[in-house]
Chains A and B, each alone.
Chain A
């Protein structure tokens, strides 16, 4: 029993590594969400054509770097729609909807990431 306790921290390190690797390998398929809408992660102004015309702001109102990288790299998204990207949203922020969110348009000048 004493020996077990001696090696317990080492076992914890191995278990932690194993868990993080398994979470990484198993997270991909289950992490993909389809037809979900979520609360905005960040905001940015769009021009009349729907193009992004200014810096993005996070939910706290602070200018956010890398917003373009999020939008242009679907690999970084937690959802499967290529034109919309949600990063790091907890599942209870998702609402099941029957429609696929669309990209920003002129109708919502200051809009969210979807």
Chain B
């Protein structure tokens, strides 16, 4: 027996929800890990940020702006209603970090790393690959949320 369109849409919606929860959880883990690390070693993070080859006023702002924005991704990704925003913010952050690293690797010889966890021990290639993977995860989450919302609107 062929599944009815509404049944099919419901089943598809359920599968999408599980994928979204999985992707959101991966991003939540990554954000908590990074923010936790930066907070634990905040003096070091501050100095690393100030050493970034950008104008100092930008570095000064980023030291205090970056962590709250990164942390904001966690509650946004946690709740169903705000997950789209969470994926959007995560995608924009990860994309900007990835572009910054790629740009720095291409045009600057010396790049201090203001990053948490094991990342400072990695090479820049690995760091870039890590960023690209999580940018893709955020993009897939964003796209799937968008598609699911549209599919749900169609079934209603």
Contact = CB atoms under 8 A, between A and B. Distances in A.
A17 B53 CA distance: 30
Interface residues of B, number: 54
Interface of B: 17-18, 21-22, 24-26, 28-37, 40-41, 43-44, 46-48, 50-56, 59-60, 74, 77-78, 108-118, 120-125, 127
6 smallest CB-CB distances across A and B, nearest first, come from A16-B32, A60-B53, A20-B36, A92-B123, A88-B48, A12-B25
B112 A87 contact: yes
B56 A65 contact: yes
- Central interface residue in B29, B32, B127, by most chain A CB within 10 Å: B29
Contacts, number: 148
Nearest to B109: A39
B55 A62 contact: yes
Contact of B56 (A20, A41, A62): A62
Given A58-B50, A59-B108, A87-B47, A9 B127 contact: no
Interface residues of A, number: 42
B29 A88 contact: no
A90 B35 CA distance: 19
Given A8-B22, A9-B77, A70 B110 contact: no
A29 B85 CA distance: 39
Contacts of A40: 110
B109 A42 contact: no
Contacts of A63: 56
